[in-house]
Structure 1
Amino acid sequence: MTVDPDPGEVAAVLLASVSVLVRRVRQVPAEGGLTMPERTALALLDRSGPTTSSALAREVQITAQAMGATLGALRDRGLVERRPDPDDGRRAVLLVTDAGRQALRDKRNARAELIARALTGGEFTPAELARLAAAAPLLDRLAQHL
Protein backbone atom coordinates (compact mmCIF):
# COMPACT_ATOMS: atom_id res chain seq x y z
CA MET A 1 0.00 0.00 0.00
CA THR A 2 1.38 3.43 -0.96
CA VAL A 3 0.77 6.54 1.08
CA ASP A 4 -0.19 9.70 -0.76
CA PRO A 5 2.41 12.46 -0.32
CA ASP A 6 1.49 15.17 2.15
CA PRO A 7 1.01 18.44 0.20
CA GLY A 8 2.57 20.42 3.06
CA GLU A 9 5.70 18.29 3.04
CA VAL A 10 5.94 18.45 -0.75
CA ALA A 11 5.55 22.25 -0.58
CA ALA A 12 8.33 22.59 2.01
CA VAL A 13 10.76 20.42 0.04
CA LEU A 14 9.97 22.15 -3.26
CA LEU A 15 10.30 25.62 -1.76
CA ALA A 16 13.66 24.82 -0.21
CA SER A 17 15.04 23.25 -3.39
CA VAL A 18 13.73 25.89 -5.77
CA SER A 19 14.92 28.68 -3.47
CA VAL A 20 18.50 27.39 -3.54
CA LEU A 21 18.34 26.96 -7.33
CA VAL A 22 17.00 30.48 -7.87
CA ARG A 23 19.57 32.07 -5.54
CA ARG A 24 22.44 30.36 -7.33
CA VAL A 25 21.13 31.15 -10.80
CA ARG A 26 20.63 34.82 -9.91
CA GLN A 27 24.32 35.08 -9.10
CA VAL A 28 25.29 34.37 -12.72
CA PRO A 29 27.20 37.34 -14.15
CA ALA A 30 26.28 38.40 -17.67
CA GLU A 31 27.74 40.77 -20.20
CA GLY A 32 26.63 44.30 -19.45
CA GLY A 33 26.52 43.69 -15.70
CA LEU A 34 22.93 44.50 -14.81
CA THR A 35 22.39 44.98 -11.10
CA MET A 36 19.52 43.12 -9.44
CA PRO A 37 17.32 46.27 -9.29
CA GLU A 38 18.10 47.03 -12.95
CA ARG A 39 17.34 43.48 -14.00
CA THR A 40 14.09 43.50 -11.99
CA ALA A 41 12.91 46.79 -13.49
CA LEU A 42 13.90 45.78 -17.02
CA ALA A 43 12.21 42.37 -16.78
CA LEU A 44 9.04 43.90 -15.34
CA LEU A 45 8.92 46.52 -18.10
CA ASP A 46 9.48 43.80 -20.68
CA ARG A 47 6.60 41.71 -19.30
CA SER A 48 4.11 44.48 -18.59
CA GLY A 49 4.83 46.88 -21.42
CA PRO A 50 5.10 50.67 -21.25
CA THR A 51 4.37 52.11 -17.82
CA THR A 52 5.36 54.91 -15.50
CA SER A 53 8.26 55.00 -13.08
CA SER A 54 5.87 55.36 -10.13
CA ALA A 55 3.85 52.32 -11.24
CA LEU A 56 7.04 50.26 -11.42
CA ALA A 57 8.08 51.49 -7.96
CA ARG A 58 4.72 50.43 -6.53
CA GLU A 59 4.96 47.04 -8.23
CA VAL A 60 8.35 46.19 -6.71
CA GLN A 61 7.58 48.03 -3.45
CA ILE A 62 10.45 50.51 -3.47
CA THR A 63 10.50 54.30 -3.30
CA ALA A 64 9.88 56.36 -6.40
CA GLN A 65 13.33 57.92 -5.92
CA ALA A 66 15.06 54.52 -5.90
CA MET A 67 13.17 53.44 -9.02
CA GLY A 68 14.01 56.76 -10.68
CA ALA A 69 17.72 56.20 -10.06
CA THR A 70 17.51 52.64 -11.43
CA LEU A 71 15.61 53.73 -14.52
CA GLY A 72 17.99 56.65 -15.04
CA ALA A 73 20.92 54.23 -15.16
CA LEU A 74 19.02 52.02 -17.62
CA ARG A 75 18.18 55.05 -19.80
CA ASP A 76 21.81 56.19 -19.76
CA ARG A 77 22.82 52.77 -21.11
CA GLY A 78 20.11 52.84 -23.79
CA LEU A 79 18.18 49.90 -22.29
CA VAL A 80 14.94 51.82 -21.68
CA GLU A 81 13.48 54.95 -23.21
CA ARG A 82 10.89 57.55 -22.21
CA ARG A 83 7.98 58.46 -24.41
CA PRO A 84 4.96 60.67 -23.90
CA ASP A 85 2.03 58.78 -22.38
CA PRO A 86 -0.53 58.39 -25.20
CA ASP A 87 -3.35 58.70 -22.62
CA ASP A 88 -1.96 61.69 -20.72
CA GLY A 89 0.48 64.01 -22.47
CA ARG A 90 1.66 65.41 -19.13
CA ARG A 91 3.20 62.08 -18.16
CA ALA A 92 5.93 59.93 -19.65
CA VAL A 93 6.00 56.16 -19.91
CA LEU A 94 9.04 53.96 -20.06
CA LEU A 95 9.59 51.05 -22.39
CA VAL A 96 12.32 48.52 -23.06
CA THR A 97 14.53 49.16 -26.09
CA ASP A 98 15.87 46.47 -28.40
CA ALA A 99 19.18 46.72 -26.52
CA GLY A 100 17.30 46.18 -23.25
CA ARG A 101 15.61 43.07 -24.60
CA GLN A 102 18.98 41.78 -25.76
CA ALA A 103 20.46 42.36 -22.29
CA LEU A 104 17.63 40.30 -20.79
CA ARG A 105 18.13 37.53 -23.37
CA ASP A 106 21.86 37.50 -22.65
CA LYS A 107 21.18 37.09 -18.93
CA ARG A 108 18.61 34.33 -19.52
CA ASN A 109 20.96 32.52 -21.90
CA ALA A 110 23.80 32.69 -19.36
CA ARG A 111 21.50 31.19 -16.74
CA ALA A 112 20.31 28.42 -19.06
CA GLU A 113 23.92 27.60 -19.96
CA LEU A 114 24.82 27.40 -16.26
CA ILE A 115 22.01 24.91 -15.63
CA ALA A 116 22.88 22.89 -18.75
CA ARG A 117 26.51 22.63 -17.58
CA ALA A 118 25.34 21.46 -14.16
CA LEU A 119 23.07 18.87 -15.75
CA THR A 120 25.87 17.65 -17.99
CA GLY A 121 28.60 17.64 -15.36
CA GLY A 122 26.40 16.77 -12.41
CA GLU A 123 26.38 13.06 -13.11
CA PHE A 124 22.66 12.98 -13.80
CA THR A 125 21.46 9.77 -15.39
CA PRO A 126 19.25 9.85 -18.50
CA ALA A 127 16.34 8.75 -16.29
CA GLU A 128 16.97 11.64 -13.88
CA LEU A 129 17.17 14.11 -16.77
CA ALA A 130 13.84 12.77 -18.03
CA ARG A 131 12.31 13.24 -14.56
CA LEU A 132 13.57 16.82 -14.39
CA ALA A 133 12.17 17.50 -17.88
CA ALA A 134 8.82 16.03 -16.84
CA ALA A 135 8.77 18.15 -13.67
CA ALA A 136 9.27 21.47 -15.52
CA PRO A 137 5.66 21.78 -16.81
CA LEU A 138 4.38 20.83 -13.36
CA LEU A 139 6.47 23.56 -11.74
CA ASP A 140 5.18 26.02 -14.30
CA ARG A 141 1.58 24.99 -13.57
CA LEU A 142 2.26 25.32 -9.83
CA ALA A 143 3.60 28.85 -10.38
CA GLN A 144 0.48 29.78 -12.35
CA HIS A 145 -1.69 28.78 -9.38
CA LEU A 146 0.14 30.91 -6.80
Structure 2
Amino acid sequence: MKEITIDYALRATWQAVARMYNEEAKEFGSTMAVGFTLLSLDPKKGTPSTALGPRMGMEATSLSRILKSMEEKGLITRQPNPEDGRGVLLFLTEFGLEKRKDSKDAVLRFNEAVRAQTSPEKLDHFFEVMEIINKVVTQKKIYHNNTK
Protein backbone atom coordinates (compact mmCIF):
# COMPACT_ATOMS: atom_id res chain seq x y z
CA MET A 1 0.00 0.00 0.00
CA LYS A 2 1.22 3.47 -0.86
CA GLU A 3 -0.30 5.00 2.24
CA ILE A 4 -0.90 3.62 5.68
CA THR A 5 -4.55 3.09 6.50
CA ILE A 6 -6.02 4.36 9.75
CA ASP A 7 -6.81 0.86 10.99
CA TYR A 8 -3.25 -0.31 10.23
CA ALA A 9 -1.74 2.61 12.17
CA LEU A 10 -4.07 1.93 15.12
CA ARG A 11 -3.41 -1.82 15.12
CA ALA A 12 0.37 -1.58 14.67
CA THR A 13 0.70 1.08 17.35
CA TRP A 14 -1.52 -0.79 19.81
CA GLN A 15 0.43 -4.02 19.21
CA ALA A 16 3.69 -2.18 19.95
CA VAL A 17 2.20 -0.68 23.12
CA ALA A 18 0.82 -4.07 24.21
CA ARG A 19 4.20 -5.71 23.59
CA MET A 20 5.89 -2.98 25.67
CA TYR A 21 3.40 -3.42 28.54
CA ASN A 22 3.72 -7.22 28.42
CA GLU A 23 7.52 -6.97 28.58
CA GLU A 24 7.24 -4.67 31.60
CA ALA A 25 4.58 -6.86 33.24
CA LYS A 26 6.77 -9.93 32.76
CA GLU A 27 9.34 -8.30 35.07
CA PHE A 28 6.64 -8.43 37.76
CA GLY A 29 5.48 -11.96 36.89
CA SER A 30 2.31 -10.66 35.28
CA THR A 31 0.70 -9.74 31.95
CA MET A 32 -0.77 -6.62 30.42
CA ALA A 33 -4.25 -8.17 30.65
CA VAL A 34 -3.89 -8.67 34.40
CA GLY A 35 -2.59 -5.10 34.81
CA PHE A 36 -5.50 -3.72 32.79
CA THR A 37 -7.92 -5.72 34.92
CA LEU A 38 -6.32 -4.46 38.14
CA LEU A 39 -6.77 -0.89 36.91
CA SER A 40 -10.39 -1.54 35.95
CA LEU A 41 -11.43 -2.74 39.42
CA ASP A 42 -12.70 -0.19 41.94
CA PRO A 43 -10.11 -0.35 44.74
CA LYS A 44 -12.56 0.80 47.42
CA LYS A 45 -16.07 -0.47 46.62
CA GLY A 46 -15.25 -3.53 44.54
CA THR A 47 -16.65 -4.11 41.07
CA PRO A 48 -19.58 -6.27 39.98
CA SER A 49 -18.16 -9.08 37.85
CA THR A 50 -20.86 -8.47 35.22
CA ALA A 51 -19.77 -4.83 34.81
CA LEU A 52 -16.10 -5.64 34.25
CA GLY A 53 -16.33 -7.17 30.76
CA PRO A 54 -18.15 -4.22 29.17
CA ARG A 55 -15.89 -1.75 31.00
CA MET A 56 -12.81 -3.46 29.57
CA GLY A 57 -14.26 -4.33 26.17
CA MET A 58 -13.64 -8.04 26.74
CA GLU A 59 -15.65 -11.17 26.16
CA ALA A 60 -16.79 -13.05 29.27
CA THR A 61 -14.81 -16.20 28.45
CA SER A 62 -11.48 -14.36 28.13
CA LEU A 63 -12.19 -12.34 31.24
CA SER A 64 -13.18 -15.37 33.32
CA ARG A 65 -9.79 -17.01 32.60
CA ILE A 66 -7.99 -13.84 33.68
CA LEU A 67 -10.09 -13.54 36.84
CA LYS A 68 -9.50 -17.20 37.75
CA SER A 69 -5.74 -16.69 37.35
CA MET A 70 -5.87 -13.48 39.41
CA GLU A 71 -7.79 -15.24 42.17
CA GLU A 72 -5.27 -18.11 42.21
CA LYS A 73 -2.41 -15.59 42.50
CA GLY A 74 -4.11 -13.86 45.43
CA LEU A 75 -4.76 -10.59 43.59
CA ILE A 76 -8.55 -10.58 43.98
CA THR A 77 -11.34 -12.11 46.04
CA ARG A 78 -14.93 -12.71 45.07
CA GLN A 79 -17.69 -11.78 47.50
CA PRO A 80 -21.47 -11.93 47.20
CA ASN A 81 -23.02 -8.67 46.06
CA PRO A 82 -25.25 -7.47 48.94
CA GLU A 83 -27.44 -5.53 46.48
CA ASP A 84 -27.89 -8.46 44.09
CA GLY A 85 -28.03 -11.93 45.62
CA ARG A 86 -27.11 -13.53 42.30
CA GLY A 87 -24.14 -11.26 41.65
CA VAL A 88 -20.52 -11.24 42.74
CA LEU A 89 -18.29 -8.31 43.62
CA LEU A 90 -14.58 -8.45 42.83
CA PHE A 91 -12.25 -6.91 45.40
CA LEU A 92 -8.53 -6.33 45.27
CA THR A 93 -6.49 -7.98 48.01
CA GLU A 94 -3.58 -6.16 49.65
CA PHE A 95 -1.31 -7.90 47.14
CA GLY A 96 -3.70 -6.87 44.36
CA LEU A 97 -3.54 -3.25 45.52
CA GLU A 98 0.27 -3.38 45.39
CA LYS A 99 0.21 -4.81 41.86
CA ARG A 100 -2.41 -2.24 40.84
CA LYS A 101 0.00 0.49 41.91
CA ASP A 102 2.75 -1.13 39.79
CA SER A 103 0.37 -1.18 36.80
CA LYS A 104 -0.68 2.42 37.34
CA ASP A 105 2.96 3.51 37.61
CA ALA A 106 3.76 1.77 34.28
CA VAL A 107 0.86 3.53 32.54
CA LEU A 108 1.83 6.91 33.98
CA ARG A 109 5.49 6.45 32.93
CA PHE A 110 4.37 5.68 29.37
CA ASN A 111 2.09 8.74 29.34
CA GLU A 112 4.88 10.96 30.67
CA ALA A 113 7.30 9.67 28.00
CA VAL A 114 4.82 10.41 25.20
CA ARG A 115 3.86 13.81 26.62
CA ALA A 116 7.55 14.75 26.90
CA GLN A 117 7.94 14.28 23.14
CA THR A 118 4.60 15.70 21.99
CA SER A 119 3.19 19.20 22.11
CA PRO A 120 -0.07 19.76 23.99
CA GLU A 121 -1.65 20.87 20.70
CA LYS A 122 -0.71 17.61 18.96
CA LEU A 123 -2.06 15.60 21.90
CA ASP A 124 -5.32 17.54 21.75
CA HIS A 125 -5.59 16.68 18.05
CA PHE A 126 -4.77 13.04 18.77
CA PHE A 127 -7.58 12.78 21.32
CA GLU A 128 -9.99 14.59 18.98
CA VAL A 129 -9.23 12.10 16.20
CA MET A 130 -9.56 9.13 18.56
CA GLU A 131 -12.95 10.47 19.67
CA ILE A 132 -14.06 10.74 16.03
CA ILE A 133 -12.87 7.20 15.28
CA ASN A 134 -14.72 5.87 18.32
CA LYS A 135 -17.88 7.73 17.28
CA VAL A 136 -17.68 6.41 13.70
CA VAL A 137 -17.22 2.85 14.97
CA THR A 138 -19.94 2.96 17.64
CA GLN A 139 -22.53 4.46 15.30
CA LYS A 140 -22.28 1.27 13.21
CA LYS A 141 -23.21 3.09 10.02
CA ILE A 142 -20.23 2.04 7.93
CA TYR A 143 -21.08 -1.52 6.95
CA HIS A 144 -24.70 -1.95 7.98
CA ASN A 145 -27.75 -0.83 6.10
CA ASN A 146 -29.76 1.05 8.72
CA THR A 147 -33.14 0.63 7.03
CA LYS A 148 -34.29 -2.09 9.42
Matched, 1:142 2:127: no
Q: How many pairs align? A: 122
Report what 1:125 is aligned to. none
What amino acid is aligned across from residue 23 of structure 1 in structure 2?
Answer: Q
Report what 2:58 is aligned to. 60
CA RMSD between the two structures: 3.6
- Aligned partner of residue 48 in structure 2, secondary structure: coil
TM-aligned CA distance change 1:77 to 1:109, over 3 Å? farther
- Identity of counterpart residues, as a percentage? 21
The answer on whether the counterparts of 2:48 and 2:87 sit within 8 Å (CA) in structure 1 is no
Unaligned runs of 5+ in 1: 1-11, 120-127
- TM-score when normalising by structure 2: 0.56
What amino acid is aligned across from residue 104 of structure 1 in structure 2?
Answer: S
Cα separation, 1, equivalents of 2:113 and 2:80 = 40
Cα separation, 2, equivalents of 1:102 and 1:21 = 25
Matched, 1:51 2:48: yes
Q: Which has the higher contact order (CA 8 A, sep 6+)?
A: 1
Report what 1:94 is aligned to. 90
Report what 2:28 is aligned to. 32
- TM-score when normalising by structure 1: 0.56
| Alpha-carbon offset, residue 25 of structure 1 | 1.0
Matched, 1:107 2:99: no
Larger Rg: 1
Report what 1:123 is aligned to. none
The answer on whether the counterparts of 1:51 and 1:95 sit within 8 Å (CA) in structure 2 is no
What amino acid is aligned across from residue 105 of structure 2 in structure 1?
Answer: D
Report what 1:23 is aligned to. 15
- Aligned partner of residue 34 in structure 1, secondary structure: coil
TM-aligned CA distance change 1:42 to 1:132, over 3 Å? same
